[in-house]
Chains A and B, each alone.
Chain A
């Protein structure tokens, strides 16, 4: 297998749901993910950013095989996920979810939660499994005495460490972190981000890191993809998106990160707050009703994700126009 082979590849992935509106009303299609193509090379972290309803969690579920795409393909390590069995899939990709209170079995000890994937996959003897669990707990910064504890005896941060240990014990090719720090206090969030950063550099993890907070994403991600209403509106190297975001929505998201600087007032994101109805998305660019740069073309024609300048891609008519204007005639 060549090194160029991405660990995760999404090829024009679409997910449509049929949404009922009441007993007698006809069902309507809801486009949760509307044609997303992304890839994550080995050892890299792709940050996926967007607000609620943008489709980022649906995308994560499709990568985990918990949802089947309506159209398109998800490939892990070059293999279409649709053709993989459950066990095989679990070896390739593992999740860390948002809420460490509901994602751990309250009746199992920490050691058995972390060791369960090994047992299911029949790896090693009981003694070997015990050793690997102990090593894994140490790796995520838990002490040996936690092994016999139950989730209810741990703090939120410790539980999220358990979730990370469970996800990593099979040495998966790909780690999916879906808002792993959103349910945590800020000081605990910092600990978990530091841990993920440390594991990243020590183990060379490949991961998809999903968050609504660009400041969190940029600590870990090598590349960032910004989603809005089911589509990727901007994608590029983290540093470039953070400094020279081309899509007005990316800039708005960035502006809404409230840094603790008491000399700055509240940011004016210029986005308004009217989130469109995903059942009736606006025509043209789905972002145009909130966009400060909107012009006529945006209302009729959906922009395509493409390169305008620099190393990132954006789906924005205004970015295209501005990039064209910079080339001397």
Chain B
């Protein structure tokens, strides 16, 4: 077995807040192989974005990051010198952010922003950088790429800006791309196109892709494997088809059941819901963080729940003995 491009074990992120320590990410273990798409899915505040920022070393300075290890292509990012980290970031590991308007520099032309990482990482001279920028802009489906280089971000639509972000991430030929909600700010018909493009480029260049999203629809359609996060923990992970067909954690089942589906949902037929609220992560949590909202919770759930591993790397953090059935009348 080859070395995974990303191998994170027992990652924790703690952030000091006014009333204590916020345990935003707790014991997250995940791996991404070359050519593989791992989707990290969860709702607001589950720690999915912080996980990707922790990998990139982009956490706010007040945050404390710990892990057993956090290897990028075998090299541990934890004890890496800032200089070595700068060599990797934007070069062999790149990030695509959610909001293409705020993550592009409004005072720089598209061309300058695209060529900067290429030049900075010493991949070639200015002419080569420009050639690659044009090649990638065309590859991500931007017409008249040469003309775009002299334009500023505000002259492009949201869909085009996100394509520029993708092209920028690809400039140095990365081994790993971290994409945080790359299509959330886009229109639905554009979203499908951008996801197509990401999946295609990932196959073409054999990159690992860690895609952070809140949308199980996206997960189902693009992920090879999925990690479901709740309250800072990965509560379930495994091959996408297995997790969707036989979810072992009630939260995963709850998420699947609350999505409106054209063929299933009808006027008058309610969606599944998850009652209650996410617990506060200030001060940490004993036992299963989902137990207050869980229809199956029993007394042992108040104690620490070990991770159970099934076939094909399917793992879950729940004591239930079997897959969680849908509670809907007409499950999909």
Say whether A associates with B. yes
Q: Is B307 located at the chain interface by the 8 A CB criterion?
A: no
Does B189 contact A257, Cβ atoms closer than 8 Å? no
Using known A-B contacts A201-B268, A213-B188, determine if residue A258 contacts B218 with beta carbons closer than 8 Å.
yes
Q: Is B103 located at the chain interface by the 8 A CB criterion?
A: no
Q: Is B196 located at the chain interface by the 8 A CB criterion?
A: yes
Does B216 contact A260, Cβ atoms closer than 8 Å? yes
Interface residues of A in 42-56 (CB under 8 A from B): 51-52
Does A51 contact B187, Cβ atoms closer than 8 Å? yes
Q: Is A191 located at the chain interface by the 8 A CB criterion?
A: yes
Chain A: minimal CB distance from B235 (Å):
14
**Chain B residues near A156 (CB-CB < 8 A):** 44
| A to B CB contacts below 8 Å, 27 in the list | A185-B214, A186-B215, A186-B255, A187-B254, A190-B260, A194-B270, A198-B270, A215-B260, A252-B189, A256-B191, A256-B192, A257-B262, A259-B259, A259-B261, A259-B262, A259-B263, A259-B332, A260-B261, A261-B244, A262-B220, A262-B221, A262-B241, A263-B241, A265-B221, A269-B193, A273-B194, A274-B143
Q: Using C-beta atoms within 8 Å of the partner chain, give the interface range for chain A.
A: 35 or more
Interface residues of A in 89-103 (CB under 8 A from B): none
Given contacts A52-B158, A260-B216, 14 further A-B contacts (CB under 8 A): A187-B273, A190-B258, A190-B259, A201-B268, A256-B191, A258-B217, A261-B244, A262-B223, A262-B240, A262-B244, A266-B195, A272-B193, A273-B193, A275-B157
Chain A: minimal CB distance from B261 (Å):
5
Interface residues of A in 226-249 (CB under 8 A from B): 238, 242
Residue of B nearest to A242 (CB): B262
Interface residues of B in 19-48 (CB under 8 A from A): 43-44
Q: Is A254 located at the chain interface by the 8 A CB criterion?
A: yes
Does A187 contact B267, Cβ atoms closer than 8 Å? no
Interface residues of B in 309-332 (CB under 8 A from A): 332
Q: Is A126 located at the chain interface by the 8 A CB criterion?
A: no
Using known A-B contacts A197-B267, A257-B188, determine if residue A264 contacts B220 with beta carbons closer than 8 Å.
yes
Binding site for B on A (CB under 8 A): 51-52, 155-156, 185-191, 193-194, 197-198, 201, 212-216, 218-222, 238, 242, 252-269, 271-275
Does B265 contact A215, Cβ atoms closer than 8 Å? yes
Does A264 contact B221, Cβ atoms closer than 8 Å? yes
CA distance A222 to B220 in the complex (A): 29
Residue of B nearest to A185 (CB): B43
Using known A-B contacts A214-B262, A263-B241, determine if residue A258 contacts B159 with beta carbons closer than 8 Å.
no
CA distance A156 to B190 in the complex (A): 27
Chain B: minimal CB distance from A117 (Å):
28
CA distance A186 to B214 in the complex (A): 8
**Chain B residues near A256 (CB-CB < 8 A):** 188-189, 191-192
CA distance A260 to B218 in the complex (A): 7
Does A212 contact B259, Cβ atoms closer than 8 Å? no
Does A275 contact B187, Cβ atoms closer than 8 Å? yes
Q: Is B141 located at the chain interface by the 8 A CB criterion?
A: yes
Using known A-B contacts A186-B259, A258-B192, determine if residue A52 contacts B187 with beta carbons closer than 8 Å.
yes
Does B273 contact A194, Cβ atoms closer than 8 Å? yes
**Chain B residues near A269 (CB-CB < 8 A):** 189, 192-193
**Chain B residues near A264 (CB-CB < 8 A):** 220-221
Binding site for A on B (CB under 8 A): 43-44, 141, 143, 157-159, 187-196, 199, 214-223, 240-241, 244-245, 254-256, 258-263, 265-268, 270-274, 277, 332
Does A51 contact B189, Cβ atoms closer than 8 Å? yes
Does B192 contact A220, Cβ atoms closer than 8 Å? no
**Which 8 A/B pairs are nearest by Cβ-Cβ distance?**
A258-B217, A190-B258, A51-B187, A185-B43, A190-B271, A215-B260, A187-B274, A273-B193
CA distance A52 to B192 in the complex (A): 15
Chain B: minimal CB distance from A256 (Å):
4
Residue of A nearest to B263 (CB): A259
Using known A-B contacts A216-B260, A266-B195, determine if residue A259 contacts B267 with beta carbons closer than 8 Å.
no
Residue of A nearest to B293 (CB): A187
Does B277 contact A238, Cβ atoms closer than 8 Å? no
Does A191 contact B222, Cβ atoms closer than 8 Å? no
Using known A-B contacts A253-B188, A273-B141, determine if residue A260 contacts B159 with beta carbons closer than 8 Å.
no
A218, A219, A221, A238: the one contacting B271 at CB < 8 Å is A219
CA distance A52 to B101 in the complex (A): 15
CA distance A51 to B259 in the complex (A): 20
CA distance A253 to B273 in the complex (A): 25
Residue of A nearest to B259 (CB): A260
Chain A: minimal CB distance from B223 (Å):
8
Residue of A nearest to B262 (CB): A215
CA distance A257 to B266 in the complex (A): 15
Does B220 contact A190, Cβ atoms closer than 8 Å? no
CA distance A179 to B89 in the complex (A): 38
**Chain B residues near A191 (CB-CB < 8 A):** 273
Does A273 contact B258, Cβ atoms closer than 8 Å? no
**Chain A residues near B262 (CB-CB < 8 A):** 214-215, 218, 242, 254, 257, 259
User: Which of A51, A186, A213, A221 gathers most chain B CB within 10 Å?
Assistant: A186
CA distance A107 to B159 in the complex (A): 37
Residue of A nearest to B143 (CB): A274
**Chain A residues near B199 (CB-CB < 8 A):** 266
CA distance A198 to B259 in the complex (A): 17
CA distance A191 to B254 in the complex (A): 12
Chain A: minimal CB distance from B126 (Å):
30
